[in-house]
Amino acid sequence: MTVYRTVLGGADFHAADIPDEHQCRLGQLYDNMLAQETIKPSAVYKKIDQPHRAVHQQAKDALNHYHKAEWPNVLRCLNHMEQANLQVMALMQQLLADISRDI
The domain that holds 68 is classified in CATH as 1.20.120
Range of weakest confidence among 4-8, 30-34, 75-79, 89-93: 30-34
Whether the CB-CB separation of 80 and 54 falls below 8 Å is answered with yes
- Provide the pLDDT confidence category of residue 34 given band limits of 50, 70 and 90: confident
Considering only residues 28 and 42, tell me which one the structure prediction assigns the higher pLDDT.
Answer: 28
Residue-range definition of the domain harbouring residue 45: 2-102
Give the pLDDT score at 24.
92
Give the pLDDT score at 44.
84
Chain center to CA of 48: 9
Whether the CB-CB separation of 63 and 6 falls below 8 Å is answered with yes
Per 3-state DSSP, what percentage of the chain is helix, strand, and coil (rounded to 5)? 75, 0, 25
Query: Cα–Cα distance between 90 and 81 in angstroms, integer?
Result: 14
pTM, rounded to two decimals? 0.87
Predicted confidence (pLDDT) per residue in 36-94, tens digit: 666 666 778 789 989 999 999 999 999 999 999 999 999 999 999 999 999 999 999 99
Query: Cα–Cα distance between 16 and 58 in angstroms, integer?
Result: 13
Query: Cα–Cα distance between 64 and 35 in angstroms, integer?
Result: 33
Domain count, the chain: 1
Query: Cα–Cα distance between 66 and 46 in angstroms, integer?
Result: 32
